[in-house]
Amino acid sequence: MRTVWKGTIGFGSSAIPVKAYSATEDHSTGLRQLHSADGGRIRLKRVCEVDGAEIPQGELGKGYTLPGGDVVVLSEDELAALPLPTAHSIEICGFVPSHQLDPLYFVKSYYLEPEVPATKPYVLLSEALQQAERVAIVKVAIRQKETLGALRVRGQVIMLDTMHWPDEVRTPDFPFLHDDIDIRLPQVRAAANLIENLSGNFEPGQYSDSYGAALEELIQAKVEGREVMRPTAAKQDAGVEKLLAALQESAQARTDTDQAESPAVKRAKAAAEKAAGTKAGAKKAASKARSAPKSRS
């Protein structure tokens, strides 16, 4: 597993160094957008809305758009100067009973592994959480974004579950919630009996992705039936195409100029070039004669 975060858990007077790993991964069959005519992949480019130019990575910045459309541009130095004490530290804010946490708040789960010198305080925190039947409510910053979180124990490993902030959770306001719906007691009992008959322990291994399996079978059938397409060679970069076009245009312009000259002009140019060559040869011969040693009498 790849480390996605490194820092410490602040617990009492101790700082427990840990590394975080994603607890889940996506195994779905990856389908990509492509050009159905030739199989070429579709690439998304970063294009400026103002001038339509494609922007290289080095020219990308960050900013905040105001309601009126004006933009506040923020530099990387300004963002780096903002206080973010939880960038490398999991700050414990308090402890609550686990049943009080609504799963709606959970975003993503991470395994926390202790660094070798911190194994003992890590295990101590794990045992204390289990014995108290509590979870720790924490704050932590992952990828420059501070988030709410919870520390809980799964097996012998402390988990970090990132959570939504309260203002990120929506409140439903459906029309039926305001209606007085009459439900009879026998109907409730019948529904409860049905639930009881279908109840059991949660065994995640007994569930499978039927759509994903069908998709893999479809792809395999097309491979076996040779219903595959090899994408054509990628076209040259737009900048290269522009350069080649400019060179070709320049060469064509020179050819057109040469063809447009009259015979008289061409003869005059040839005579001038010949005269220049003769003059240069005479100067070279004279220079050679002056530098030659004189014979003794």
Query: The domain that contains 20 carries what CATH number?
Result: 2.40.290.10
State percent of the chain over pLDDT 70. 78
Per residue in 221-230, pLDDT tens?
Answer: 988 887 887 7
148: enclosing H helix or E strand: strand 145-154
User: Number of folded domains in the chain?
Assistant: 1
Q: What pLDDT does residue 234 have? A: 55
145 by DSSP, 3-state: which? strand
The Cα–Cα gap between 23 and 161 comes to 10
Once rounded to an integer, what is the mean pLDDT over residues 55-63? Answer: 90
Q: Is residue 57 part of a domain?
A: no
Q: What pLDDT does residue 249 have? A: 75
DSSP alpha helices (H): ranges in the chain? 76-80, 119-132, 185-197, 210-224, 238-260, 263-291
Burial class of residue 245, CB neighbours in 10 A (0-12, 13-18, 19+)? exposed
Once rounded to an integer, what is the mean pLDDT over residues 67-91? Answer: 90
State yes or no: pLDDT of 116 exceeds 70: yes
Once rounded to an integer, what is the mean pLDDT over residues 90-110? Answer: 96
Residue 209 φ/ψ, nearest 5 degrees: -90, 95
Minimum mean pLDDT among 94-108, 117-131, 266-280, 282-296: which range?
282-296
Minimum mean pLDDT among 7-11, 33-37, 67-71, 271-275: which range?
271-275
Q: Is residue 64 part of a domain?
A: no
Q: What Cα–Cα distance (Å) separates residue 176 from each residue in 1, 169, 173, 181, 182?
A: 47, 20, 9, 8, 12
Q: What pLDDT does residue 181 have? A: 92
Q: Is residue 210 part of a domain?
A: no
State yes or no: pLDDT of 56 exceeds 80: yes
192 by DSSP, 3-state: which? helix
Q: Is residue 156 part of a domain?
A: yes
Q: Is residue 114 part of a domain?
A: yes
Give the domain extent around 83: 3-24+73-168
- Kindly give, in sequence order, each residue whose CB lies less than 8 Å from that of residue 288, ignoring residues fewer than 6 positions away: none
Q: What pLDDT does residue 264 have? A: 56
Q: Is residue 228 part of a domain?
A: no
Q: Is residue 291 part of a domain?
A: no
Per residue in 237-296, pLDDT tens?
Answer: 556 666 667 677 776 766 665 555 556 555 655 665 665 555 555 555 555 555 555 544
Q: Is residue 267 part of a domain?
A: no
Cβ(95)–Cβ(135) below 8 Å: yes
30: confidence class by pLDDT, cuts 50, 70, 90: confident
* pLDDT, averaged across the chain: 85
State yes or no: pLDDT of 82 exceeds 70: yes
Burial class of residue 95, CB neighbours in 10 A (0-12, 13-18, 19+)? middle
21: confidence class by pLDDT, cuts 50, 70, 90: very high
Q: What pLDDT does residue 287 have? A: 53
Minimum mean pLDDT among 4-13, 121-130, 158-167: which range?
4-13
